[in-house]
Amino acid sequence: MLKLENVQSGYGNILAVKGISLEVNKGEIITLIGANGAGKSTTLLTISGIVSCRAGRILLHDEEIHTLGTDEIVKRGICQVPEGRHIFPELTVQENLDMGAFMRNDTKQIKADLDYVFSLFPILEERKNQDGGTLSGGEQQMLAVSRALMAQPKLLLLDEPSMGLAPLIIKQIFEIIRKINEESNTTIFLVEQNANQALQIADRGYVIENGKITITGSAESLLNNQDVQKAYLGL
Amino acid sequence: MDYFIELLFSGLSRGAIYALIALGYTMVYGIIGLINFAHGEIYMIGAFTSFIVATILTILGFPALAIIVLAGLAAVIWSASYGFTIEKIAYKPLRHAPRLSALISAIGMSMFLQNYVLLAQTSDFLPFPQLIPDFDFMEPIAHIVGSSDMIILVVTTLVMIGLTLLIKYTKIGKAMRATSQDRTMAMLVGINVNRIISVTFIIGSSLAAIGGMLVASHIGQINFYIGFIAGIKAFTAAVLGGIGSIPGAVLGSVVLGLTESFATGYVSSDYEDVFAFSLLVLILIFKPSGILGKVDTQKV
């Protein structure tokens, strides 16, 4: 479905992603794990077209998307929950969700999707008239995921959904991610520092170090890989 | 007491005009963080456009109401296309440059437009036709509130209500708010940010054009320099109310208009600007973010 071929990107003089190739197949949960500054977030931002792709190609269903604007990429079904959640602080919860559905015009289906995300996270329905900025960290993460779902993504990019959250909430968020993948067959590309949690739900994984993919394989093989265990699982 | 009410209304109508211009400053600042110093010139161009159209239509013998509507429409369209084009030429290429570059570009654009109108229209004050007639029903209170003051207040109020509804309830309005709060995220939900920025410039310029026409008809003369003065005052009002805040711009404008009006009426018209800018200095000392401006707090 999504294919990166030797992608390079970065900021100013700094090259953060130094030639990455990876592939995400339809229906999979793929995780990209790595330390701080390894280039995980930059990879995601490059896929969404926020950071420009300097070399290599990004293909979605064999169509080159790295030359498109972000809104065109979103239109093709790639949605991102960026690191730090990025809730619109002075829009209400409801308005934040409306913005998620910005590209859509099918009012009826939007309403049904709204009910669906409220069923996933009932707390959001209770708070729907509250400003996004007043929510707690966990609630904001729920809102960020819900907002992305309102776009009916074919491919959902998640950037560190566990960051700064209590273990119980992390567990809940990961359960929901798995549920979204199973119920609506949404393909998921998950970037995490929390390698253990991520590999638990993923089908396959890539390890990124210094802007390059160093190890790849099934989630199970990565969990048993000694290097991965030492560097990312703390075993 | 009559004198007080007279000053009150003249201050309100002054504030209303400032508000029409200040909204353009504050909306553009809210979206791209730039003080668009060429905005006063947009207002001036609106006044000139309505002047030219109104003069031609008067010669052709159109009825008064048709002249007002057509001249206003022409001013709005022409100013909006200037605003749109200025953004594309002078600001868009500098979107990722340091802020100072865009600011210098804005000042340059302001000077360019002033001088271009100076060359085209000379530096003389041109007599602006009185578009707004003295209404008969206003006769009993005409010594307190003039007809054109009244029209300025009514039109501005209607425009403000329209703008509020647009920003609060329409899809494009929500997208504008979203873009001003978090541009990256706005892009990630699929908002075409360039289009939102253009729309913001178009709306801001349209409001300024309406202000330009109203005030030119009220005062009765225009020249190339009116945009600079009005622009500085409206900018002051926007900062006073809290730059980036829409209600702040309106409130700041009203406060500034009233201050000027009362200072003129009770002290001396020579001190009008002294009071206006003293107020600005005081606000900046004691509440740097403006009356309704907020200190940025972000939750990570």
Cα B178 from Cα B245, distance rounded (Å): 14
Cα A18 from Cα A212, distance rounded (Å): 6
Residue of B nearest to A47 (CA): B188
pLDDT in tens, chain A (235 residues): 999 999 999 998 999 999 999 999 999 999 999 988 899 999 999 999 999 999 999 999 999 999 999 999 999 999 999 999 999 999 999 999 999 999 999 999 999 999 999 999 999 999 999 999 999 989 999 999 999 999 999 999 999 998 888 889 899 899 999 999 998 889 999 999 888 889 999 999 999 999 999 999 999 999 998 888 888 877 6
Is A82 an interface residue toward B (CB < 8 Å)?
yes
B185 interaction partners in chain A (CB closer than 8 Å): 82, 86-88
Pairing assessment for the beta strands A14-24 and A2-11 based on DSSP bridges: antiparallel
A79 interaction partners in chain B (CB closer than 8 Å): 188-189
Q: Which residues are CB-contacts of B215 (< 8 A; sequence separation ≥ 6)?
A: B17, B47, B152, B226, B230
Q: Domain locations in chain A?
A: 2-87+153-233
Contact B174 A98 (CB under 8 A): yes
Cβ(B258)–Cβ(B11) below 8 Å: yes
A75 interaction partners in chain B (CB closer than 8 Å): 190
Among A213, A121, A235, A210, residue whose Cα is nearest residue A169: A121
In this prediction, residue B292 has a pLDDT band, given cuts at 50, 70 and 90, of: confident
Q: What is the distance, to the nearest Å, from the Cα of residue B13 to the centroid of all Cα atoms in its chain?
A: 13
- The three-class DSSP label of residue A222 is helix
As for the ipTM of the complex, it is: 0.92
Give the model confidence (pLDDT) of B188-243 as tens digits. 999 999 999 999 999 999 999 999 999 888 888 999 999 998 999 999 999 999 98
Residue of A nearest to B299 (CA): A133
Helix (H) or strand (E) holding A142: helix A137-149
Q: Which residues pair with A192 in a beta bridge?
A: A33
B299 interaction partners in chain A (CB closer than 8 Å): 89, 133, 137, 140
pLDDT at A100: 94
Cα A207 from Cα B45, distance rounded (Å): 59
In this prediction, residue B296 has a pLDDT band, given cuts at 50, 70 and 90, of: low
Superfamily of domain A2-87+153-233: P-loop containing nucleotide triphosphate hydrolases (3.40.50.300)
Contact B177 A88 (CB under 8 A): yes
| Within-domain flag for B291 | no
A165 interaction partners in chain B (CB closer than 8 Å): none
Query: CB atoms < 10 A from the CB of B275, how many?
Result: 18
Outline where chain B has alpha helix (H): 2-32, 39-60, 64-86, 99-121, 147-169, 171-181, 183-188, 193-219, 226-241, 246-262, 272-286
Contact B178 A91 (CB under 8 A): yes
Contact B188 A164 (CB under 8 A): no
Q: Which two tokens stand for residue B91?
A: 């600001």
Residue of A nearest to B300 (CA): A84
In this prediction, residue B142 has a pLDDT band, given cuts at 50, 70 and 90, of: confident
Size of interface A-B (CB pairs under 8 A): 71
Helices B193-219 and B2-32 sit at what angle, rounded to 10 degrees?
Answer: 160
B181 interaction partners in chain A (CB closer than 8 Å): 88-91
- Point out the residue among B181, B188, B189 whose CB comes nearest to the CB of A89: B181
- The three-class DSSP label of residue A111 is helix
Q: What is the distance, to the nearest Å, from the Cα of residue A174 to the centroid of all Cα atoms in its chain?
A: 12
Write the burial class of residue A9 (CB in 10 Å: 0-12 exposed, 13-18 middle, 19+ buried). buried
DSSP assignment string, B154-187: HHHHHHHHHHHHHHHHSHHHHHHHHHHH-HHHHH
How many domains are there within chain B? 1
Q: Of B60-69, B244-253, B287-296, where does mean pLDDT reach its minimum?
A: B287-296
Contact B177 A91 (CB under 8 A): yes
B191 interaction partners in chain A (CB closer than 8 Å): 71, 99, 102
- The three-class DSSP label of residue B54 is helix
Contact B190 A50 (CB under 8 A): no
pLDDT at B132: 78
B189 interaction partners in chain A (CB closer than 8 Å): 74, 79, 99-100, 102-103, 147, 151
Contact B190 A137 (CB under 8 A): no
| Within-domain flag for B300 | no
pLDDT at B287: 87
| Within-domain flag for B12 | yes
> Which CATH number is B226's domain given?
1.10.3470
Could you list the residue range(s) of the whole structural domain that residue B231 is in?
A: 2-286
Q: Which residues are CB-contacts of A117 (< 8 A; sequence separation ≥ 6)?
A: A97, A124, A146, A149, A150
What is the C-alpha end-to-end distance of chain A, expressed in Å?
34
Cα B229 from Cα B233, distance rounded (Å): 6
Which pTM value belongs to this model? 0.91
Alpha carbon of B194: minimum distance to chain A alpha carbons (Å)? 10
Q: How far is CA B149 from CA A212, B134, B137, B140, B220, in A?
A: 68, 10, 14, 15, 13
Contact A82 B177 (CB under 8 A): no
Helix (H) or strand (E) holding B270: none
Alpha carbon of B216: minimum distance to chain A alpha carbons (Å)? 38
| Within-domain flag for B297 | no
Helix (H) or strand (E) holding A23: strand A14-24
> Which residues on chain B place their C-beta less than 8 Å from a C-beta of chain A?
171, 174-175, 177-178, 181-182, 184-193, 298-300
Q: What are phi and psi of B217, to 5 degrees?
A: -70, -30
Query: CB atoms < 10 A from the CB of B128, how many?
Result: 21
